[in-house]
Amino acid sequence: AQRVLFLIFASHKRDTKGQLELYLCQTLGRLMAAPVIERQGSRAAIGTRAGSSAGSGPPTPVTGAGESTFGDGTLDITAIERPLTHSEEVGLYHAASLRRGVRGRPALLEVRRQLLEGLHHLLTGDEALLTDLWVNFDCDMQRGNMFDFFTSFMTQRAIPWRVSTGEDEAFMDILLFHLVRVASRAGVEAPSGRWAELLGMRSVGDRNKAAMPADASQSSPCGSLHLPVLLDRKTHKDAMMQAAKLFNKKPKDGVAFLQRTGALGQAAGEATQHLAQFLRETPTLNKRLVGEFLAKPSNLEVLQAYVSQFDYSGKRLDEALRALLGAFRLPGESQQIERIMEAFATAYAASGNPDIATKDAAFILSYAVVMLNTDQHSPQVRSRMQLSDFARNLKGVNDGADFREGFLADVFAAIRDAEIVFPEEHEGAAGFEYAWRGVSAAGSWATTRLRTSTYDRALLEATWPRLLRALERT
């Protein structure tokens, strides 16, 4: 199956950016260290404390002796002289803003060996892939820092801390292939003889030619890949991630940072739109805090600008509401919910759906859908609402008339069959389904093939301490 997958990635990489992202997130997650089991009396805690809430932010780690915590979401791995624990690797994963809900559990035995073998094949079979990861993910505001995370993960795992398990050799092999290619592109003579055999290479040129994907000639326009443009994008992304980090500690501090850096603009009215855009487009924000911030009466203009950024045209009300509530966590207080539903109803009514007569009707139905969602999926509710109950509660609210029967039936069935949740807070099927829906929004792949050397200096400057440390410790 992996061979088929790699063939698809090689021949249709332009159209499989999202699929490759999911593959790498899942594979790297399953190659993480196994969680440590702590026994406390008769209970066992695996990797995270049993009482941690399913909210935004990384799980609370079970911190063992000498283990680093992630209070600020960062970790300097060059200062740690031991293998990273499972919770530390998860912390790095979250700090890089990689997709949640798709990591899976660490694999064991043969499955683990096959995953590592596949990752090794993928990353040593394409000269440009590691650089492409930086261009396509680390320089994209909507994607995680895949290159940066993998560099940390690879250089930490390449060190045989106690005794070689074979995994360290595989990661060191990937690291050496990367460095040999960088050296080759800089004009250094390719390895030969015993070194070439140890690296499994005929020659760098031969391997690159063999690994050339079928769509290599269809590379993205050079203008979008100019190094200064990409460095500007990365700088902007880093600034937004810093603002998000401050926002996640105290929203007021995050907004103040945006104002100081000029990110909210200078003209009247710009600040509201730019702040709403920041809340919508910054994936590292704490989604619970975003919901609470939007629901404050003092932030009504920001809330209205935020809900107006969604495209509701052609969507049934429950579909539009599901899209909105997939972007932040709905607060629990009734007044906060009402405030958000009122703003949503105004924006949705303006989209011109023929089944909704007025914005008041949109508001009442929106609130009813939120209540229906709780009724249908809360384990505390024993007697669940039926379609007839749902329709009776909404009788005459559509500007004095009833909603169309088929329309209400479709809304009811959609909520009954699929709960409105914030899937990034869930592992397993719900999280993967949410991530899969975002695959189509990933955009097309931009390849650096035939000009990869343009980026080597900048990437080495960003990663050399980690690379050098791995070589020194081996």
Cα(320)–Cα(243) distance, rounded to whole angstroms? 28
d(CA 292, CA 329): 8
Residue type, 136: N
DSSP H or E run through 46 = strand 43-46
98-150 tens-digit pLDDT: 987 788 899 999 999 999 999 999 999 898 999 999 999 999 998 999 999 99
**Which tens digit of pLDDT belongs to each residue from 202-216?**
544 444 443 434 333
Low-confidence ranges of the chain (pLDDT < 50): 38-73, 203-222
Residue 77 confidence (pLDDT) = 86
Please name the residue ranges forming H helices in 261-316: 270-281, 287-294, 300-307
pLDDT at 428: 56
Which pLDDT score, from 0 to 100, does residue 38 have? Answer: 47
Q: What is the pLDDT of residue 205?
A: 47
pLDDT of residue 425: 55
Average pLDDT, the chain: 84
**CB 142, CB 281: distance < 8 Å:** yes
Question: What confidence score (pLDDT) does residue 168 get?
Answer: 94
Per-residue pLDDT, 318: 97
CA 433/CA 436 separation, integer angstroms: 5
Global pTM value: 0.79
What pLDDT does residue 8 have? Answer: 87
Per-residue model confidence (pLDDT) at position 244: 95
pLDDT of residue 434: 66
| Rounded Cα distance, 227 and 3, in Å | 33
User: What does the pLDDT read at residue 432?
Assistant: 63
